[in-house]
Every structure is written in C-alpha cells, then in structure tokens.
Chains A and B, each alone.
Chain A
Amino acid sequence: MSSEDGSNALEEFKTTLDGLTFNSRPIITTLTQLAEEHMSLAQEFVGLIENRLEKCVPSQKLFTFYVMDSICKNAGSPYTIYFSKNLHKLFRKTYLLVDNQTRTKMISMFKTWMVPLPAGDLMFDHSSLNSIENFLIKASALHQKSATPPAIQQHTAHNGPAGSNITVKSLLSDIDKLALITQSKLVSTPDDAKLQAKVAILKQLRQELQKERLAPEFLSQVHQQLKQIFAQEHQQQQQQQQQQQLPLQNNSQFLPPSSQGSVNNDMSRGSLQANGNNGSMFGGSLQFNAPFLNQLTNSNRLNKLSSLVNMLREKELLHEPGEASITTLAAKLEPEFDSSKTVQLPSYSLLQDILGDLEAQRQTQNLDILNASVLQLSQQFVLNDNHPITEKLVHFLYRAKPNKCSICGKRFGNTLEEKELEIQHLDWHFRVNKKIKGIQSNTTTSTKVIQSRNWYLDENQWADFKEEDIIATDIDTGAAEQQPTFANNREDSTDAIYTKLRNKYIVVPDYATDMKFQCPICTESTYGKYDEDLGEWIWSNCVQVGDKFFHATCYYEAAKSQQSNTSSSPSFQNLQLDLGIFNELLQ
C-alpha cells in the first residue's frame, strides 16, 4: 500500500467521521470497512476517533462510541488493544457530560463488552473494563441518592424528532440569560465591538424565534450553538475569576460544559452535589449556569448599593468616621498590610497546651492534699460542684503532669524521677510494639505472633502475686513468661518437665520457606520467631523426630498416654512415638 493511499484513506476516514452528527448506520458501516481494509493505519484511526470523542459536542459522542464499538467487534485486534488504553478515561469523561438517556445507552453498550468473545476472552483489557464497571457502580449509586423528582426535560436533540423537547420558550429564556451576561460585560468594556455585535445578534435571534414557528431541527441547532456560546462565556468568566482571586463560594461548583474543558476532580464532584437538585447531574440543559447568574445578580446588587451609598453621602445623610477613628486608621493600614510578612501562629492546641500547663503549675503550687482538712468523705463536700480546692486539685490529674504519652495517654511530671519513668515507659512501648509486629520483617507473608490467654492464678498464687511483675518496665518479658500455669499444682517434676519441653527449640531449617511447621498431633501451625540471644530464627517448643517436626509438649503427652494406655489415641499409633526420645530430650 502506497503512502498516498494511506493518507487518502486517513482523509476519507476523518471527513466521514466528522459527518457523524447523527446516529447513522451507513456512516458507521463505512468507517468500520475503512478500518478493516487499512489495518496498518489502525493507530491513526484510533487517534482520530479518540480525538473526536474528546472534541465533539456531548450529544454526538455516543455515535463515535458506536463507531469504536463496531470497529472493535468487526475488526478486532489491534484496534481493541489500542482502544483499551484510553477506554476507561474516555468512557468516564463522556459519561459525566451526557444526559441520562445517553448514559443508559452507554451502559447497554458497555454490557455487550462484558460478554466474552467466542474465543473465551473479553474484547478489551480486563483492568480497563473493571475500572469502568467500578465507576458505573459508584456513579449509579450516587445518582440514585441525588435523584430528586424526575429530571427536568432532557434535551435529546440527537434523537431526531425528539428535538421538539426544546421549546421556543426555553430557548428564549436561554437567549435572555446570554444577553444579560453579554450586556453586563459590555458595561465594563463599552468599546468592544465584538460584544456589541453579539448583543445585536442575540436580539435578532430573539425576534426571529418569536416571529415564526421553526422546525425542531433548527431549534436544536440553535440550542447547540447557544450552549457553545455559554461554554465560552463561562470559560472566560472562570479565567477572570482566577485572575481576580475572587473568594467566590460557588466557584468550585461550576461545571465546564464545553467538551474541551477538562473534567477536573473537584469540579465534577462538586457539581454532582450542587446540581443534584436540578434533577439531572450533567443533563444537557443550561442550568449549569445558575451559580454564575447568581453572581451576576450579586454584582448588580453591589452596584446598586454603592450608588445608594454615594447618594446618601451627597445628601450628607451618612456619618463619616473622623480622622482619629479606628475605622479610618484601619483603612489606612489596610493597603500596607502584607500577608507575606505575617507570622503564622502555632496551632490552637499547642497554645492551649502551653497556657494550660502553666496555669496548672501555678494552681497546684503549695497544694497539700493531706493538710486540706476540707477534703472529707462527707455529703456536704462531695456534692459541691464548684469547690475551689477541687478546681485546683483537678490539675494533679492532668496538666500538673504535662508530659502525655503519645501512644497511650498516660501522663508524666517534670521531676527527674518522673522523667526517668517516662523514658522507661516509652522504652516499654517500643519493645512491646516490636514484639507485636513480630516476625513480619523477614518473611514475605506477614504473620502475627500467635498469642492466647493464660490460665488465671489460683487464690494462693494470686495472693502472693506482685503487680511489679506486670508493670515493671525494666524487664523485657513482663509476667508472661514467668506466669505460673495451673501445672504448678501437679507434681513438681511434671512442671519442670513442661518447662523444659517448652524451652526446646529447633533452628528453622533453610528449606522451610514459609517459616512454619505443622505439628502432626495437634495440627496447629507454629511460626518461627527470632531469638535475639541466638541470632537465629527458631521454632520454640519443637522437636524433630525423623523428618517430622512436633510440638515438644504434644509429642511428650501423646507418647506418654500411648505408653500408659496402648488402646487410646489410635490415630497417633502410626506415628510410632518413642518415649526414649524424651530421655534424651529432657537431659
């Protein structure tokens, strides 16, 4: 194929595509054929179609999608691959711009994409389709939420006769709005010839519309044109706003209606909510300009107000602030006020903390609970809801100890002793956190250290227990490991055996890639843990018998019970347990 051929085909494809301003099967067929014949130009064709999807007016976007759909279904690869790339982006953009009817059509089209091809796979890339699907799910959920009374007349110009939905009346009101905008602009730039011409044209258009009954096609054309003008106006307006940095509240709720305008995250989200009460989220109607019009009327009001003020001033009905007044001073200072030179104050909470801590120190100075004889466990004192001494004493519970642990909220004071305690406390948190996180670091699959509750102590053990074993910060292990179990009440030797058994460990062999072993007796899996003293990963309470790993305690118990009662636990018999191992184990 010569290059001339190619450029001809491209040209032909482009003009045909541009002609697709209505839903035309012949045009779509032609385009599909062109695409099938010139596979080598696939990338260019895809570019043209994507370009058109971006550029054309919202009402025509659907037909372009139909072209894409037809090409992909008939010609298949490589078109499907190329289109997959931007598919979800284009689909999403389009969906947000078109009216609800078109949306429904897009959804039915999308549904056909989710049907697997005869070859078994889907037409487009999975991830693209998934992201479209997720988008649609969210969008429809949102839409249902904002679906207030049925949409106000949707314009459906692309559907031929349905264009009659656009009435002369609605167009007239659109023209009026546009005229208002243009005129207000004319006020600021009275010499702009273009604007003057625009006003004239709008007037003429208005007259024409009022004069005769026009064909619906014409009406819809007018509608389209108006819409584009609106879009331009709106864009200009927006640029102005950005330049002027007007703190306009509704700013973010604008939706750029032009198809060129990029749909920016904030805006579309804002409009979703703001326009929700309009019935349609992005319907083709011209209501998106409502906030803009509001602003116009606002500026009109401002103009009126300032002229009123001027009139009052002329008639000397207005009190003018004197030279020495604070208002005049402020007005003079205002222009010199430079925001870049201001110092940013620290956050409210920090200031509150500093002031509160100081106040607490002051209030609790020389306060002695023991000597405060008013502190009686009596009805009279307790039910006094603003006793001065309590108001001071309360600080002992809070800010008199100004250093609050950022992990658990426990407070520490400023004395040396308290500082020391705080450091130990933070160390404890650090060690505990390390323990909780466990062995995540070294293995790919993150595993948590398995822990369970201990038995409670019996009365005598509890009566002798010291809380120091739990709260001591200087020993790493805490009470967990020293915790006497109920086994204490067994014969002492048994207890010793169990302690020994638990201390048995096997260094995790290299071939154990998942860092765990499953005990064949209790079928629990045990993960390796890092032993700092050994510098090795170990399985604790573990014993190797042949090529099998057992929990030492399980093996011992099973073997023992097998020994004492040969008939029990038939399931373990095939394990050929050997208590002899334990003689060695317990050395």
Chain B
Amino acid sequence: MEFVEFSEVSETTKTSSLPQGHEWTVQVPAGSKLTVIVKYGIAEILGTELANDVPYTFQGVIVNIYAIERSMIEWKCLEELEPKVSENKSYHAYIYNLNFALERLRLSSFNGPRVLIVGNASTGKSSLAQMLCSYALKIRHYQPLLVNLNPQDGVFSLPGSITATPISELLDVESSIWGQSITTGATKLHNKQPLVKNYGLENIRDNRPLYLSTITQLASGVQQRLKNDPIVRRSGVIIDTPKLSHLDTEDWSEVGHMIEQFDINAIVVCAESDDLAIELSEVFRTKIGSIVRIPPPGSIIAIDDIMRRALQRVQIREYFYGTTETVLSPYTMGAGFEELTVFRPRNISEYGEDKKDVDLTVFDKIEVNSSNLQHAIIAITNISRKESQDKLNTASIIGYGLITEVNDSKKKLRVLLPVPSRIPDRAMILTEYRYLE
C-alpha cells in the first residue's frame, strides 16, 4: 500500500550554508524548540566546537553558530525563525589574539591571568567570558575559573546568585545555565562544581553593601581554591560582570572592589569606543597591568527586559527539571510553617530618610506565610536554623527551593527541592525571584 505523503511545511528541515568567518544568529522563543545539526565543516557556539551529525536542541535561548571553516548546518523549528547570517571574522580574530596573549601569560607564570570583563549592556561580555574559557580548554588541559558576578544571570545556578566554577570540561551549549552542576546520575557531558553565593535581590542598586559583601564571600572561597589547586591557579580566572549601568560609575566602587578581591591583573573592556577604557586606566592605573578594549560583535542580539525575564524563567526551570537531554527529577516536600526559618535581605528602597544609618548587610527574619513566600525562590544556606543569624553573611548556598504552595490556615507549605530529601533544617534566604509553574 503506497501512501501519499503530504510533507508538513512547518516541520521541514532547512539547510544553511555558512561561509568561513560567518555567524548564524537566531533567537529561539521560550516556548519553541530549535534543532541544529552540523552536516560538515567546523562550527562552534561561543568557543565550544559542535560535533558533526549530532543534533543539538535549543529552547528559549539565543544561538550563535560561528563557522570556523565553510560549514553546512541543517535546522528545524516548528515556529518561523529568522536567523541572521553575518560576517564576523574580525571580532573572532580579536578574541583569538586575546586568547593567545592570555595563553602566553599562563605559560610564563604559575599564576594565570585574572581577567575582569566590563562593559555596557549587550556588548558581548558573557559570550566573551564563555569563549575565553572554551578556548583555554581547547588549547591545553586547563581549568579556568569562570566567575559570574551578574546576579540577574544564572550560571550553573539560578538568577539571584553569583558563582565561581572551574571549567574543566566542555560547556554545554544546549543549556541555558552553561551546563549542569553535579547530579546523582549520568549526564552526556561532564558536570561542573560551582561555588554559589546568594545576593537574592534583582537590582544591585537596591543593596550595594550586600552586593559587595557577597562578592567578598565569593572571592574568599575563590582565593582559597586558587591556593589549593595549582591547575586552576595556572589556568586563571575569567570574571563576567553586570552591565555598567547597574554599577557605580562615579567612584567605581564595585569595580574597584572586584579588582581588589580577585587580584585582577587585566581588564577587558567591551565597548565601541576607547572612552571607557581610558577612564578605567586613569582610575586603576596603579593596580592593573593591562587594559584591552574589544569592540562588540556586529551580530549581537540585545536582551531587553522581557527577554531577560523569559531567560530567567528558562534558567529556573532548568535548575529544577534539567534539559531534554538531562532530565532531572525535583522533589516536592510538605512541611509545617514551624519547620522553616526564612530571612530576607534588606532593600534600600524601603528605608526613608534614615537610610544612611541602616546596616544593609543585616538580614531580617520574616514570618512564614503565603504573602511572603508564595511562588518564591528561596536560597538554602549551609547555616543551621539554630545558629546565630550574623553567620548568614558568610553562608554558602547548598541549593535553591521553590515554594509551590502555602496554606495559611493549616500552616503548611510545599517546597520543590532539587534534591530528594526532607526539607533541610537550614536557614533560608528569600530571594526576589518568583516562579509560577
């Protein structure tokens, strides 16, 4: 019996031929799924080379595929996508130069380069950080330490956190959080082991002292690790930062703090013009050896607030549930109100005239009820509930939970936990992030 096959137009596979040095850029909306296969050639996503003839799936992220050599890709998506192909050779040449200059520093010293990447929104900071790590991996068996200081982004963790992670194996290009932290089972790529500190607020301006103190905490862990771990120390540190508009550009207090805490010896400025680099070199002349400017790539897709939100949702979902490739099973646990101790970081906008006198790094204990906790993401610290609360300032984060249900009358709530266990009897910190499943 022969069947008349009607090809369904929406599912057809499209092919794109990418000349050498061209970049294929597309934004995949949160609800849809893009599958890409490299048919031939050498193509990479932010420095991570793609295997040929292997399907890669992307959901709710921006995808940049760069052709090192003439490549052919095959892709399909149920939704109409409008990929852009643009020449981007010069930009990548700059990155290569930067990478090999850093490589020479690694070879000539046991203390690898410590690079701080700064720049305005949508200038390619995170992409640059990712590429520098990936290229370091490619050239030798390095384990560069990737530090994300942008609390609005989640790297191996949730938005709200800042993290430091040695990149000892390939980054996961399909993942919205750059790869998975350690899981209980087998994953297609190697897991990563991040150190996670929680800032918890959405905007840095809402509590600059807390942001600075969180950076200090992360940096002290990083310094300890660098002392213990010669491979990571030699591989160096790559630090991604929030966009400049979120930072204090009058006194450069945060940037100065980062430079000091992480012993930064090189700054990469992502900017169209030299102005910012010149200003930074005037301010930090005595501390920094070299400041290099990289112009933003032409192919960049600016992330607006709506996209940022959507991306954060994708990241939160991935933290609990994994990806299509690595499916994770979170656990929902019921608990009585009395089993939780929750604190909240202070927010400067809630204080009036007397804001100068308030110690913003102190946490306030809050009542467990639905108005405070419904749909909230809570950071679970490694500090016992019974410990004194000033220990919170030095707390590490062992994970995040999502309060899915709060019943005020029965005084019970349900928490989605990434790990199958009872609700840990640890102090918890409320974040400003909410997630409705």
CB proximity of A442 to chain B, nearest CB, Å: 18
Is there an interface contact between A369 and B104, defined as CB atoms closer than 8 Å? yes
Over the window 508-524 of chain A, the binary record of Cβ atoms lying under 8 Å from chain B Cβ atoms (1 yes, 0 no) is 00000000000000101
Contact of B424 among A384, A467, A486 (CB under 8 A): A486
Most chain B CB within a 10 A radius of its CB, from A264, A409, A410, A485 = A409
- Contacting A at CB under 8 A, from B209-245, are 217, 220-221, 224-225, 227-229, 231-232
- Contacting B at CB under 8 A, from A73-100, are 89, 92, 96
Is there an interface contact between A385 and B319, defined as CB atoms closer than 8 Å? no
Is there an interface contact between A370 and B51, defined as CB atoms closer than 8 Å? no
At the interface, yes or no: B276 with Cβ under 8 Å from chain A?
no
At the interface, yes or no: A575 with Cβ under 8 Å from chain B?
no
Contact of B50 among A381, A409, A462 (CB under 8 A): A409
* A387 to B289 CA separation, bound complex (whole angstroms): 23
- Contacting A at CB under 8 A, from B91-133, are 93-94, 96-98, 100-105, 107-108, 113
Is there an interface contact between A385 and B93, defined as CB atoms closer than 8 Å? yes
A: number of interface residues (CB 8 Å) = 86
Residues of B within 8 A of A451 (CB): 183-187, 326-329
At the interface, yes or no: B306 with Cβ under 8 Å from chain A?
no
Contact of A377 among B50, B101, B185 (CB under 8 A): B101
Given the known inter-chain contacts A369-B107, A381-B97, A407-B54, please indicate yes or no for A453 contacting B182, CB distance below 8 A.
yes
At the interface, yes or no: A458 with Cβ under 8 Å from chain B?
yes
CB proximity of B284 to chain A, nearest CB, Å: 15
Is there an interface contact between A456 and B53, defined as CB atoms closer than 8 Å? no
Over the window 349-388 of chain B, the binary record of Cβ atoms lying under 8 Å from chain A Cβ atoms (1 yes, 0 no) is 0000000000000000000000000000000101010000
Is there an interface contact between B294 and A382, defined as CB atoms closer than 8 Å? yes
- Contacting A at CB under 8 A, from B175-191, are 180-191
Given the known inter-chain contacts A349-B41, A382-B292, A524-B331, please indicate yes or no for A459 contacting B4, CB distance below 8 A.
no
* A464 to B94 CA separation, bound complex (whole angstroms): 35
Is there an interface contact between A393 and B382, defined as CB atoms closer than 8 Å? no
- Contacting A at CB under 8 A, from B1-38, are 1-9
At the interface, yes or no: B296 with Cβ under 8 Å from chain A?
no
- Contacting B at CB under 8 A, from A257-274, are 263-265, 268-269, 272
Is there an interface contact between B96 and A139, defined as CB atoms closer than 8 Å? no
* A442 to B45 CA separation, bound complex (whole angstroms): 38
Is there an interface contact between B396 and A462, defined as CB atoms closer than 8 Å? yes
Over the window 273-307 of chain B, the binary record of Cβ atoms lying under 8 Å from chain A Cβ atoms (1 yes, 0 no) is 00001000000000001111111000000000000
At the interface, yes or no: A203 with Cβ under 8 Å from chain B?
no
CB proximity of A98 to chain B, nearest CB, Å: 15
Contact of B195 among A369, A410, A462 (CB under 8 A): A462
Could you give 25 example pairs across A and B, Cβ below 8 Å?
A: A96-B4, A352-B69, A356-B69, A377-B266, A378-B290, A379-B292, A379-B293, A381-B101, A383-B94, A386-B93, A393-B96, A394-B96, A398-B49, A404-B51, A407-B188, A408-B51, A452-B184, A453-B328, A456-B195, A456-B196, A456-B397, A457-B396, A463-B195, A464-B228, A486-B398
The 4 A-B pairs with the shortest beta carbon distances in the complex, nearest first, are: A451-B185, A349-B40, A435-B186, A463-B224
Measured CB to CB, the residues of B under 8 A from A are: 1-9, 39-42, 48-54, 68-70, 89-90, 93-94, 96-98, 100-105, 107-108, 113, 135, 138-139, 143, 157, 166, 168-170, 180-196, 217, 220-221, 224-225, 227-229, 231-232, 266, 277, 289-295, 319-320, 322, 326-331, 380, 382, 384, 394, 396-399, 418-420, 422, 424, 426
Measured CB to CB, the residues of A under 8 A from B are: 89, 92, 96, 135, 138-139, 141-142, 145, 263-265, 268-269, 272, 347-349, 352, 356, 369-370, 372, 375-379, 381-387, 389-390, 393-394, 396-399, 404-411, 431-432, 435-436, 448-460, 462-467, 470-471, 478-480, 483, 485-486, 489, 522, 524, 557
